[in-house]
Amino acid sequence: MSAPVARSIPELIARKRDGQAHSRAELETLILGYVRGEVPDYQISAWLMAVYLRGMSAAETADLTLVMAGSGEQFDLSSLQNTVDKHSTGGVGDKTSLILTPMLAALGLSVAKMSGRGLAHTGGTIDKLESIPGWSGTLSDEAFLKQARDIGLALVGQSKDLAPADGLLYALRDVTATVDCLPLIASSIMSKKLASGAQTIVLDVKVGAGAFMKTLDDGLALARAMVDIGTHAGRRVRAVLTGMDAPLGRFAGNSLEVQEAVATLSGHGPHDLTELCVALAVEALSAFGEEAGQAEARARQTLQGGSALAKLRAFVAAQGGDPSYVDEPHKLDVAPGRAEVIAQTGGFVQAVDALAVGQAVLVLGGGRERKGQAIDHGVGVELVKKPGEAVQAGEVLARIYHRDGRGLEAAQQLLENGLSVGQGQPRVPELILGRVE
Ligand code: URA
């Protein structure tokens, strides 16, 4: 066999510009060269645009992901049994990780997970957990593994050393109009998941107005691409496609979402959130070979019998948090200001725009526009009425929790535009839209 031809960076950009596929070695030249600072931003920007316009084959996308995953530290979870990770492509009011991860631990699986912070209209698990006094998302590697071994659940903020190529490429995509590109999204998400080390990965791919993927076809394509990448890398990956037109549950905002998560773990959460967590737990268990009926019964029992709530309590305490907030979540700091969005006419709620709710939380101070910005954990929005529910003129549609009026007017406007009431009862879209394994 002849040795592969070493190509210059302009030649590699030209190959992609002309629609050709890269070899793994070529991707290493581009991506690892960029991480080392040897390939400048302007060349990678041109290459990203070529990828955006020309796409990538499944094999190329898998190779790109492996190169990105190998660009920094890779977590070795081989000392843990039955490791499982979960990822959501991002939503509003999506407190699923707060509920699902203790459920999985209560089911005997090991969750040693890295999570992100919220950006723009989507929240982050670390921010939500930080509304519990004392809780910290920083652990040494040894403490992280020991805790996952001892109680089945450890959760830390994402290390900068994990898939550093992703952080660098994402920043460039953000300013070169190349975020919205399937192989780049799939490789970005999966590079971090592969480097995090879990053998089984359950993906919640959001579809709808409040999500990256607006249509079911696009969501399915992303789910298939990510499952293929994981399978290629020797991991068991399942994806569930779920609706994100309206927010999940009734609350958006950090402390408010922790309160709703605790209610769900106590067996009286909102129906959509409970069903989603059960469906994701069933996916995880069936990846380990458990029959679906038995998996569902066991998953529901962790909520009804209190074992998942007990795991959350142990997990909060292990990471420095005050576990009394798990038993008395009303003690969490919730901003004292209240304002209401009132229905002007009677009828049925037709739609609740998840993006508008996410943006309302952002303007109230509960989210960040730039990385590193401080947030107010206590503000947020309560959706008193959700799509399909009846409402009379003058009734409360949504409640705003604000601090000293900060962002109130803008939040009120966003919600007034985002909540629509009309005559006929609308067909509420299914929450679970499909699955890929
Ligand atoms: N989430 C990620 O981590 N990366 C993307 O490219 C999109 C969503």
Give residue 6's region: left, alpha or beta (phi > 0; psi -120 to 50): beta
The reported pLDDT for the residue numbered 5 is 62
What was the pLDDT predicted at 145?
96
**Inter-residue contact 387 to 351 (CB < 8 Å):** yes
**Whether 192 is catalytic:** yes
Domain ranges across the chain: 84-166+188-327, 335-422
Please provide the CATH number assigned to the domain covering 84-166+188-327. 3.40.1030.10
**pTM, to two decimals:** 0.92
Q: Which of 16, 192, 236, 311 is catalytic?
A: 192
Q: Which two tokens stand for residue 118?
A: 């919220």
Residue closest to 93 by CA, chosen among 246, 239, 274: 246
Atom of ligand 1 nearest to the CA of 184: 6
Could you tell me the distance, in angstroms and rounded to a whole number, from the CA of residue 189 to the centre of ligand 1? 5
Q: What CA–CA distance (Å, rounded) separates 64 from 41? A: 18
Task: Give the C-alpha separation, 111 to 265, whole Å.
Answer: 17
Residue 118: what pLDDT? Answer: 72
Rg, C-alpha atoms of the chain:
22
pLDDT for 332 equals 98
Could you give the CA distance from residue 287 to residue 285 in angstroms, rounded to a whole number? 5
314 C-alpha to ligand 1 centroid (Å): 31
Q: Which of 373, 383, 379, 374 is nearest to 403 (CA)?
A: 379
What is the phi/psi pair of residue 188, to 5°? -65, -50
Please give the pLDDT value at position 244. 87
Residue 57: how many other CB atoms lie within 10 Å: 11
Pocket test for ligand 1, best of 86, 115, 189 (most atoms within 8 A of CB): 189
Which H/E stretch holds residue 321? Answer: none
Using CA positions, which residue lies closest to atom 3 of ligand 1? 189
pLDDT at 418: 96
Give me the average pLDDT of each 10-residue run along the chain (437 residues).
Answer: 73 97 97 97 98 97 97 94 93 92 98 83 87 96 96 92 92 89 95 96 91 90 96 96 92 97 97 96 96 97 98 98 97 98 97 94 90 90 97 98 98 97 91 92
Burial class of residue 375 (count of CB atoms within 10 Å of its CB; 0-12, 13-18, 19+): buried
Could you tell me where the beta strands, DSSP code E, fall in 19-177?
84-88, 111-115, 153-157
The rounded distance, in Å, linking the Cα atoms of 294 and 300 is 10
pLDDT at position 4, please?
61
CATH class of segment(s) 335-422: alpha beta
User: What confidence score (pLDDT) does residue 435 get?
Assistant: 93
Active-site residue flag, 36: no
